[in-house]
Amino acid sequence: MSIPMYSPPAFHILSKPRGAICNLDCSYCFFLTKEMLYPNSNFRMSDETLESYIKQTIEGHQTPEVMISWQGGEPTLMGLDFFRKALEYEKKYKKPGQMIQHTIQTNGTLLTDEWAQFFKGNNYLVGISLDGPRHLHDVNRVDKGGASTFDRVMKGVEFLKKNGAEFNILCTINATNQDHGADVYRFFRDELGAQFIQFIPIVDRLMDSSLIPTNEIQVAEDADVHHAGRLRRFYSQRGHVVSSYSVSPEGYGNFLNDVFDEWVKKDVGTIYVQMFDVTLANKVGAPPGLCVHSPTCGVALAMEHNGDLYSCDHFVEPEYLLGNIREKGMVEMISSGKQQKFGSDKLDTLPKYCRECEVRWACHGGCPKDRFTLTPEGEPGLNYLCPSFKLFFNHVSRPMEIMGDLLKKDLAPADVMTLWPEKKEDKKTRKRH
């Protein structure tokens, strides 16, 4: 395969072997209705598409590390043999010196000992979707009959722990759990034994105050689907209001601050919270490793079960379809002018308010999908979560600076746990005198 002249050395594709098909019916899921894009599909990645995906991903990387990522819908619905086959193709195409890592994002409800042993034996990091303790998780994360899923997810985590498989927690921040940051964090740390945690804000856009989800894109004659008796319309990134289960503009920031205050006291260096790592990386000028808080994006794409490649997981919509990997080169599509523009627009469309912002170094305007509000001057393109970003990045700026200085001196950032509270004490002491 020839590599185009301006191709990124590495890229990340979330591939969806079962498309949008899932055994659960989470209320805020933006992906379930993507099923409407493929009306006559069996929603199973074919052997030919799998081989092409593995081959092109491996060949397209110019780095020693290659990431193969599975997501959905629910990818475990493919069954283990599909993933065993993927390993065979990896062996076939792997270049000398290359290391292949795997991630799989799952709701955890279908895991067994066999799955856990497979993950453990094959260098998989398993992402488990869990929104906190039972009373917070079960509000939104229900099955097709609307029933609780908490016990099934916890059982899945037990299989992983028992077999020593590495896992992280992906927790959405929504209207239900937004005021419970420390409780949610302690639950993951103390009751689950989680070491790696990601918090993802739910911002679910609607077209207008009638609160009817957008369906401007005509994907099928009848664009409605029923899930557990609920009517859903095709979800796309349009609209200026949000659904009732979305996090509030300040809720995500307050949640993160609550977690940070607990973490910075005793867990630095033992518990890894993605947003804190990303902020520290931005503080020291290292690549943040998260598109949302990078100046540009465009190298984190999504691939549907049939090989259709889209600009981003949040933009699986006809307008953002780059092509199909069975017909066009994957790297060629990733390097295309269309995709480069998608990535550079993140920076080029930043409003003046953001360009002059005191925490731009950490924020970079957030994800374009959430930029649908107005700045105080009335300029469009401000992120719905701006109040949260300001709350969080200002709150952590000083301790992040301390951790950054420690890193530069080759010392452990964990030393902040003794330095930061002392600094606060010092301030109080100075004031008293």
Which parts of this chain interact with ligand SF4 (CB under 6 A)?
A: 291-292, 297, 300, 312, 314, 346, 353-354, 357, 359-360, 363, 365-369, 383, 386, 389-390
- In angstroms, what CA-CA distances link 27 with 120, 204, 214, 243, 337? 31, 10, 16, 10, 36
Closest to ligand SF4 by CB, 94 or 390? 390
Q: Which helix (H) or strand (E) holds 355?
A: helix 352-355
Helix, strand, or coil (residue 352): helix
CA distance 305 to 47: 11
Q: How far apart are CA 88 and CA 5, in angstroms?
A: 30
Catalytic option among 131, 204, 308, 313:
313
Q: What is the DSSP string of 385-415?
A: THHHHHHHHHHHHHHHHHHHHHHHTT--GGG
Considering the complex, what minimum distance in angstroms separates the CB of residue 267 from ligand SF4? Answer: 25
In terms of C-beta density within 10 A (0-12 exposed, 13-18 middle, 19 or more buried), how is residue 131 classed?
A: buried
CB 93 within 8 A of CB 54: yes
Q: Which residues contact 365 (CB under 8 A, 6 or more apart)?
A: 346, 347, 350, 351, 354, 371, 383
Query: Distance of CA 201 to CAs 167, 176, 178, 254, 377, Å?
Result: 20, 12, 9, 12, 26
Task: Report, in Å, the least distance between residue 299 CB and ligand SF4.
Answer: 8
Closest distance between ligand SF4 and the C-beta of residue 24, in Å? Answer: 22
How would DSSP label each residue in 77-102? GG-HHHHHHHHHHHHHHPPTT-EEEE
The distance of closest approach from Cβ of residue 194 to ligand SF4 in the complex, given in angstroms and rounded to an integer, is 23
Give min distance, CB of 381 to ligand SF4, in A.
9
Toward ligand SF4, which CB reaches closer, 278 or 359?
Answer: 359
Asked if residues 126 and 80 have their Cβ atoms less than 8 Å apart, the reply is no
Nearest to 177 by CA among 257, 275, 251, 276: 251
Q: Is the CB of residue 277 less than 8 Å from the CB of residue 197? A: no
Distances (CA, A) of 135 to 29, 180, 244, 404: 19, 11, 18, 37
Cβ-based nearer residue to ligand SF4, 108 or 368? 368
**Residue (272 or 361) nearer to ligand SF4, CB:** 361
Nearer to ligand SF4 (CB atom), residue 180 or residue 346: 346
Q: What is the Cα 7 distance to its own chain's centre?
A: 23
CB of 52 to ligand SF4, least distance (A): 23
47 is catalytic: no
Q: Measured from the CB atom, is 134 or 390 closer to ligand SF4?
A: 390
> Which residue, 120 or 360, has its beta carbon nearer to ligand SF4?
360
To the nearest whole angstrom, how small is the minimum distance from the Cβ of residue 315 to ligand SF4?
Answer: 6
E strand or H helix at 103, and its extent? Answer: strand 99-106
Q: How far apart are CA 344 and CA 412, in angstroms?
A: 35
Active-site positions read: 313
